[in-house]
Amino acid sequence: MSSSDAQLVPDAAGRTMELIRAANGRYMATDYVRATVENLAALPLREDDIMLCSYPKSGCHWLWECIRYLVFGGSDIHKTADKESSMIELNTREYIEALKSPRVLNNHAFFDEQPSDLKTKGVKVVFVYRNIKDVAVSYYYHHTRDKTYKYSGTFSQYLQRFESGLVDSGSVYEYLHSWENGIMANPSLKVHVLSYEEMTEDPVRELRRLNDFLGTNRDGDFLQMVAMETSLDAMILKKNKITTFIDENGLPIMYRKGKVGDWMNHFNSDEREKMDKNIAKELGKSKLFKFKDTSNS
């Protein structure tokens, strides 16, 4: 990751993480991502595009696979591409424009950073969010196992960094505020919002809702097949066999556990109480994002 613009960004514990600061003050993982995000507004979109959006570690990989099944069908679709191949901040404009329609695109950008066409071309947007405590745990392992970040803090130290937004993609609270404000300010936007927990609780139900929203007209048997093929255990097994994104021990970085409530194995009581208060303060009045009893979910 190292470049002339890379910074070792310190946190309250004195631990540092190598990041790139964008013109808007938000942190990015690389110079390349910063450059593409700063130019996303001009990226042309098509009326039949599907744009999947989320904060990192919120289920974007999982939902991308599900949506591709619904759009394209086939039981071996996981072999044909990976999410990063259609992630608009990781690829050149020329590459994205060369993708054949219908395109299932995705990104982790804030609403105000999205392509302008998102609001005018009738693009269907799928937005997935997740229990923030589980996001913090998953992001911690991402940042400690991917050595390009040069981060080695403990989980307790990392929580201070995460809560302060000193990570690529910035504050999860600011990110969710950005999307809620953007959705509310653009009532004509075609958007389907769902949570990781809802998808885990009843995959077929949520696939049916996605199917209705996308107009993909898949029957019940097909939805059952997709639920089975994209179960967390199945996805971890399939993707970890072919991924090249591994840590220094040769272990896959992107797919770890994916379990709801894994935060309970990492947070102490004070950390849980503090984050629950922050979630209630920042998102307690949200009309889009519903976090059930955050002390138990």
Q: How confident is the model at residue 243 (pLDDT cuts 50, 70, 90)?
A: very low
How far apart, in whole angstroms, are the C-alpha atoms of residue 149 and residue 58?
A: 20
Rounded Cα gap, residues 135 and 132, in angstroms = 5
Q: What is the model's pTM?
A: 0.90
Q: Choose among 288, 88, 274, 78: nearest CA to 192.
A: 288
Distance CA(43)–CA(79), nearest Å, equals 27
Pairing of strands 27-28, 16-21: antiparallel
Give the pLDDT confidence of 169-223 residue by residue, as tens digits. 999 999 999 999 999 999 999 999 999 999 999 999 999 999 999 999 999 999 9
Shortest CA distance to 53 belongs to which of 178, 141, 216?
178
In the chain, what are the domain boundaries?
A: 6-283
Q: In what order do the strands lie in the sheet with 50-53?
A: 104-107, 50-53, 124-129, 190-195
Tell me the pLDDT tens digit for each residue of 129-140: 999 999 999 999
Reported CATH class of domain 6-283: alpha beta
Mean pLDDT of the chain: 89
Compute the distance between CA of residue 137 and CA of residue 153 in angstroms, rounded to an integer.
Answer: 13
pLDDT at 244: 47
Determine contact, residues 108/55, Cβ cutoff 8 Å: yes
